[in-house]
């Protein structure tokens, strides 16, 4: 029997001390999340003047422009790229995380370190390294030419495939780590019990292991999906800036077109999209797993 | 410790001495906001060595980016490096302050054709830094058919073999040239005319890169492009197979200038930097690193025959034209290009 959890009165209000302790966090959130979000919203209702400065006002024109099929398509494409990236990260990252968590402690420490090592260098440097690998006279093509000269050179750089490769590479650790944390907490006795009751590995995984690691998966998926939707550096460098994703379009509005109001409207739309997707995710999550 | 043996005045003196560099740094610094791949590091170091003025160097890769950050950042920059047509808009908007020409001893080194141009007829606000054109570069080992103009670059046979600068106004101007339209009077009607042509062209491009378009050519990822002349000159220096061609339909000639923003704090330092750049031996260093067209005649005399023979740095003939400020149409241009790129 597990001990009865400490009863909490859902209606209890935090005391003064709790508010004091929370104050820095709340101030931080207000200053760096709420205020900028409101600024963004305000800006999105404005217009740009001839010189690119923001004229504050109240116009929904920027939102009307969002409904242009061109931008709807970019939104869909960005979601598609992010979904593909997330899916691949899950496919590659889950087994890695699982075996990491189940490895002998010493090996585990070393492997975890290896997952983190890429963070020691700048993200941009690592992306440039991918350019050196993928380009026409690059490392990968040299290998292909040596193995099978008839296939070389493969046009790899500046393609959607290069973008997805770069995205998966960049975000993989963000999926591995939360899944790892959740597999580590997994109670081995439950798996043994499932085996004792006659379930084979193909049965145990979907009915026992997967549901129990769902919180880690949910956290990992969010950590990969959200930044992947808005990424622009990888698409510029590995994609040759020719297949714009929503992050590129937003960046362009602020730096190239200097149409901040439209850029802000795109930002607000993206924010709204995440909010909705989080609500959907929350609604879909099984009740039991929430507390895992 | 030795410090303990000092008496009170001695300690105060030591304290002052320790604080001196701080004071000096406050007075002697220059916040330079310039193009990426345009100001050689040795030039900055030489300036600091000689004057003691510390240079804080920040870069941008388009005029628009510079404007966005300048307008947002207030008085953070003491010296900017806009292209002529952007400088024209900035003068009109009172974003630049008049120069004190008496402090610029080297102005006489400039070639007359680069001074008194339409963007700043009296030379009150700007001093030319480097000039150049936007033209076609071809890897002649890979492309065997002759390429003379934009239409011959953007043809189906060159799909996915083209690099272009990532600059909306440039892209639109090429299509305008190809259609025989003026590039400096842009309106809804002329944009509507270039739209279908540009839509076709954009589909053929493999890489959009303003920072270093030469990289894709050098790496063999593309075989031809429309790029800044300085980039083409570097390619030619690397390998003579990279040929520079001024498009037959007409090409953009730009003069990038040095100018002091209205809100600049270190105005004296900015003047000293401009005058330093005007020196022949300094300007010569810029040409060596970034072989654009040098507007400084005295510096040009120091160049080697090989440097002067570089067809991208000093092209012969060609129909060259400056951009002018087109006001609101710039936003329409960017909207058009965003739409077309997104439609792929």
Domain boundaries, chain A: 60-114+167-290
CATH number of B133-253+315-342: 3.40.50.300, 2.30.40.10, 3.50.50.60, 3.40.190.10? 3.40.190.10
CA Rg value for chain A: 24
Q: In this complex, is the C-beta atom of B62 within 8 Å of any C-beta atom belonging to chain A? A: yes
Residue B77's Cβ-count burial label (10 Å; 0-12, 13-18, 19+) is: buried
| Apex B172 CA angle, B169 and B174, nearest 5 | 110
CA Rg value for chain B: 23
* A137/B339 CB distance under 8 A: no
| Apex A221 CA angle, A215 and A225, nearest 5 | 155
pLDDT in tens, B113-170: 999 999 999 999 999 999 999 999 999 999 999 999 999 999 999 999 999 998 889 9
- Mind telling me how many Å the CA of B338 is from chain A's nearest CA? 7
Distances (CA, A) of A93 to A86, A168, A180, B238: 10, 10, 9, 43
**Range(s) for CATH 3.40.190.10 in chain B?**
2-131+255-308, 133-253+315-342
What is the model's pLDDT at position B344?
A: 60
**Edge-to-edge strand ranges of the sheet holding B29-35:** B54-60, B29-35, B79-80
| Apex A155 CA angle, A154 and A156, nearest 5 | 100
Cis amide leading into A210 (omega within 30): no
Which residues in B lie closer than 8 A to residue A52 (C-beta atoms)?
64, 67-68, 71, 331
Distance (Å, whole) CA B126 – CA B255: 10
Contacts of B209 (CB under 8 A, 6+ apart): A240, A241, B163, B165, B166, B215, B216
What is the model's pLDDT at position A187?
A: 87
* A257/B62 CB distance under 8 A: no
CATH T-level topology, domain A60-114+167-290: MetI-like fold (1.10.3720)
What is the model's pLDDT at position B5?
A: 45
Nearest to B38 by CA among B308, B280, B230: B230
CATH number of B2-131+255-308: 3.40.190.10, 3.40.50.1360, 3.30.1330.40, 3.50.50.60? 3.40.190.10
Q: In this complex, is the C-beta atom of B343 within 8 Å of any C-beta atom belonging to chain A? A: yes
Interface residues of chain A, partner chain B, Cβ below 8 Å: 48, 50-53, 68, 70-71, 73-74, 135-138, 155, 157-158, 240-244, 249, 252, 254-259
Q: Answer yes or no: is the ipTM higher than 0.85.
A: no
Distance (Å, whole) CA B125 – CA B260: 8
pLDDT in tens, B192-219: 999 999 999 999 999 999 889 999 999 9
Contacts of A226 (CB under 8 A, 6+ apart): A274
Residues B280/B110, Cβ–Cβ less than 8 Å: no
Please give the full DSSP string across A172-205, using - where no structure is assigned. HHHHHHHHHHHHHT--HHHHHHHHHTT--HHHHI
Helices (H) and strands (E) in chain A, counts: 16, 2
pLDDT in tens, B171-184: 999 999 999 999 99
């Amino acid at each position: 029997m597990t001990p009865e959890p400490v009863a909490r009165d859902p209606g209890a209000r935090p005391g003064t001390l709790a508010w004091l302790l929370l104050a820095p966090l709340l101030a931080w959130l207000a200053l760096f999340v709420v205020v900028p979000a409101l600024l963004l919203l305000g800006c999105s209702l404005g217009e740009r003047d001839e010189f690119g400065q923001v004229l504050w006002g109240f116009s929904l024109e920027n939102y009307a422009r969002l409904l242009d099929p061109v931008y709807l398509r970019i939104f869909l494409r960005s979601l598609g790229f992010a979904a593909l990236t997330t899916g691949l990260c899950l496919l590659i990252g889950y087994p890695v995380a699982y075996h990491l968590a189940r490895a002998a402690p010493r090996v585990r420490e070393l492997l975890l370190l290896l997952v983190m090592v890429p963070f020691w260098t700048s993200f941009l440097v690592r992306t440039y390294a991918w350019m050196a690998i993928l380009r026409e006279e690059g490392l990968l093509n040299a290998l292909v030419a040596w193995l099978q000269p008839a296939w070389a050179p493969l046009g790899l750089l500046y393609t959607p495939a290069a973008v997805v490769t770069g995205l998966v590479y960049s975000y993989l650790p963000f999926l591995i780590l939360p899944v790892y944390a959740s597999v580590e907490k997994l109670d081995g006795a439950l798996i043994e019990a499932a085996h004792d009751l006659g379930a084979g590995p193909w049965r145990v995984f979907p009915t026992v292991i997967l549901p129990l690691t769902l919180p880690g998966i949910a956290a990992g998926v969010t950590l990969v999906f959200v930044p992947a939707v808005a990424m622009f550096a990888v698409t510029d460098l590995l994609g040759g800036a020719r297949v714009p994703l929503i992050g590129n379009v937003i960046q362009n509005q602020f730096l190239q077109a200097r149409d901040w109001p439209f850029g802000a409207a795109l930002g607000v739309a993206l924010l709204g999209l995440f909010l909705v997707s989080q609500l959907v995710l929350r609604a879909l999550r099984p009740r039991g797993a929430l507390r895992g | 410790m030795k410090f303990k043996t000092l008496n009170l005045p001695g300690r105060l003196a030591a304290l002052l001495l320790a604080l001196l560099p701080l004071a000096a740094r406050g007075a002697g610094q220059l916040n330079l906001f310039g193009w990426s791949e345009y100001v050689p590091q040795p030039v900055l170091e030489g300036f600091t060595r000689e004057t003691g003025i510390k240079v804080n160097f920040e870069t941008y890769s388009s005029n628009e980016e510079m404007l966005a950050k300048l307008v947002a950042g207030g008085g953070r920059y003491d010296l900017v490096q806009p292209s002529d047509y952007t400088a024209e808009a900035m003068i009109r908007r009172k974003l630049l302050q008049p120069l004190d020409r008496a402090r610029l001893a080297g102005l006489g080194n400039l070639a007359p054709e680069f001074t008194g141009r339409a963007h700043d007829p009296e030379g009150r606000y700007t001093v030319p830094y480097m000039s150049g054109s936007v033209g076609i570069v071809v890897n002649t080992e890979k492309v065997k058919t002759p390429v003379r103009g934009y239409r011959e670059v953007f043809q189906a046979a060159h799909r996915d073999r083209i690099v272009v600068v990532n600059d909306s106004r440039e892209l639109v101007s090429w299509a305008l040239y190809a259609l025989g339209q003026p590039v400096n009077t842009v309106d809804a009607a002329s944009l509507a005319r270039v739209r279908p042509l540009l839509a076709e062209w954009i589909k053929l491009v493999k890489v959009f890169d303003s920072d270093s378009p030469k990289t894709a050519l050098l790496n063999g990822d593309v075989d031809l492009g429309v790029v800044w002349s300085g980039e083409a000159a570097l390619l030619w220096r690397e390998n003579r197979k990279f040929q520079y061609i001024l498009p037959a339909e007409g090409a953009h000639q730009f003069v990038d200038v040095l100018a002091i923003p209205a809100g600049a704090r270190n105005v004296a330092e900015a003047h000293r930097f401009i005058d330093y750049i005007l020196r022949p031996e300094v300007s010569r260093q810029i040409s060596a690193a970034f072989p654009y067209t040098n507007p400084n005649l005295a510096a040009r005399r120091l160049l080697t025959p090989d440097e002067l023979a570089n067809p991208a740095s000093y092209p012969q003939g060609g129909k060259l034209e400056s951009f002018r400020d087109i006001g609101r149409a710039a936003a329409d241009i960017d909207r058009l290009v965003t739409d077309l790129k997104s439609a792929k």
